[in-house]
Chain A
Amino acid sequence: MSTDKISFEPKVLEGEINIPYKWTTGPAAGKFLTTLRDERKIIGLKCSSCGRVSVPPEEICGKCRKRNSEFVDISDEGELVSFTEVRVPVFWQPAEPPFVIGFIKLDGADTLLIHRILASASSLKKGLRVKARWKEEREGHILDIEGFEIIQEG
């Protein structure tokens, strides 16, 4: 079935794809983001069936598969659950690598939020208390919170 090989100089064509998009947030993420912007506040969605509070808000409960509509206020403080240092650059990152990201369990939430941790990885450990550092100029974006800082004890 195969044919004889063609002798040739290996050749590549270079190109790129740069496409602009407009992503519709939907109601849950939409209200979450505008509340970050307008009220400097984190909100979550409470499932009417199981009572689980999700942050960022889950439009459809991850447990019950019901559509959620009851928003509740969440603290901008919580506990660092896990973290890692990012060293690989990608276009839309919040900072030049290396920087740290982590899972945060905010007070009042039953789920974990992934966000930037404003500290060096070597200074971190699981269970540290963290608090949001807000931007002054907010635009309705997850990065209206610059990141989470360690709350110094005492």
Chain B
Amino acid sequence: MRRVAVVGTGYPKHKSRWEEEGLTGLVYLAATEALEDAGLEPADIEAVVYGSSPELLTGINHPEKWCSEASFSVGKPQFRIHTGGTVGASTGIAAFYFVASGMFDIVLAVTGDKNSESPVQYGLSTVYDPIIGRQFACGAPSAVALQALEYMYKFGATEEHGAKIAVKNRINALRNPKAHLHIEGINLEMVRNSPMIASPIRLLDACPASDGAAAMIFVSEEVAKKLSAPKAWVNGVSAVTEGVMYVDRDMTDPIALKKAAKTAYTQAGVTNPFKEIDVAELYEAFSYQEMIWYEGLGFCERGEGMKLIDEGSTFMKGIDYGFETPRAGELPVNPSGGVLSSNNIGSTAMIRQIEASMQVRDKAGEHQVDGARVALAHGWGGGIQFHTVMILGREPA
């Protein structure tokens, strides 16, 4: 397997509704920004991997076809990836596979969705089994509410923990100009007073639905060395699927995530993730999930995710969140604002990889974690089914 680097990334600002751009325009904006960042031309791209959310969310089947020109796919192999909310990460991983395998040297991974164009939870409910199960779906919030409650019962987490994560990521988002939600003055009180969607999940514990797109350029080591753009080396990659029969699963024990983390850590030579990883971008579609993912990723022991919140370890250093965060900066999670601040379903998991790569390329601007050398990007989706982990490094492993 060959070494692979990310040399360019791009995503336009995410927002509730992009009135002035359709899907084609957003994909074009993301792809051109990534090319400019890499110092490459459209003709340099050898293959394209395209990802988006389930079609019923946007009502356009085969969106990759309509974006062939915008994604510079014409005359080249183009492949569509489809793994629910994980799709953005899976798209990046597929592009990595294309380059690592030796088949291609320069691959564009691109994703996009206009989630404003339909009531998202309607489309999302169609990912449930139509025969037994869909009748009780109201989209993602109901499933994750059950997960959050189970976690609270088992380990004693409280609504306060969820609210602190909601505040952390929204305050972080204020330093990311591309984040969708910029909620000035966000605090615990605002989260507590926001309407209940599916108990215990309140509106401000949930991600928004965003219009947006994202793109990354994956290249071989040989090409990377010729480019002046800073590199993020893809040092560990893993994607793991859980059984679809979730009915007897312990949703507080993400076995697929644990397996994905273990594989990626072994590849990247990470033995103590909490100490060795400098910054992480996790797929926390709902506030409570962030603690469960900490545990799945081995940042702490099972049931101790809330300790990292109580102690403030995953908060950014030097930011006032309105409550005590004595150990801030130990392992900042979601400096970009995370999924709680931008959620363009097709792109969300790719933005985790983009933001992680920006951190090790020193390109994260105001939300840069100083001197970050090892960054982790996580993806989740498909009704608690898929997990992905990518480890990006300033140097190759």
Contact = CB atoms under 8 A, between A and B. Distances in A.
B136 A54 contact: no
A64 to B, nearest CB: 11
A110 interface: yes
B122 A90 contact: yes
Contacts of B136: 86, 93-94, 101, 114-116
A15 interface: yes
A95 to B, nearest CB: 10
Most central of A10, A21, A23, A85 by chain B CB within 10 Å: A85
A94 B138 CA distance: 11
Interface stretch (B81-89, B159-167, B242-250, B343-351): B242-250
Contacts of A115: 136
A110 B249 CA distance: 11
Given A82-B149, A84-B142, A103-B146, A90 B121 contact: yes
Contact of A90 (B20, B139, B153, B247): B139
A92 B135 contact: yes
Contact of A86 (B122, B198, B248): B198
Interface residues of A, number: 44
A17 B60 CA distance: 10
Contacts of A58: 245
Nearest to A143: B135
> Which label, helix, strand, loop or mixed, suits the secondary structure of the A interface?
loop
B318 interface: no
Contacts of A21: 130
Given A93-B138, A111-B248, A88 B131 contact: no
A128 interface: no
Contacts of A150: none
Contacts of B122: 90-91
Contact of B59 (A15, A54, A85): A15
B141 A88 contact: yes
A62 to B, nearest CB: 4
B117 to A, nearest CB: 8
A51 interface: no
A152 B36 CA distance: 68
Contacts of B221: none
Contacts of A126: 153
Interface in B88-102: none
B32 interface: yes
A123 interface: no
Given A62-B248, A114-B136, A86 B146 contact: no
Interface of B: 19-20, 29, 32, 35-36, 42, 56, 59, 121-122, 125, 130-139, 141-142, 145-146, 149-150, 153, 196-199, 243, 245, 247-248
The 4 A-B residue pairs with the shortest CB-CB distance in the complex, in nearest-first order: A10-B19, A111-B248, A84-B145, A62-B245
Interface of A: 1-2, 8, 10, 15-17, 21, 23, 25, 29, 32-33, 54, 56, 58, 62, 82-94, 97, 101, 103, 110-116, 121, 126, 142-143
27 contacts: A1-B32, A1-B42, A10-B20, A17-B56, A17-B59, A29-B131, A32-B132, A58-B245, A82-B153, A83-B146, A84-B142, A84-B145, A84-B149, A86-B136, A86-B142, A88-B138, A88-B141, A88-B142, A90-B121, A90-B125, A90-B137, A91-B122, A112-B248, A113-B247, A114-B247, A115-B136, A121-B199
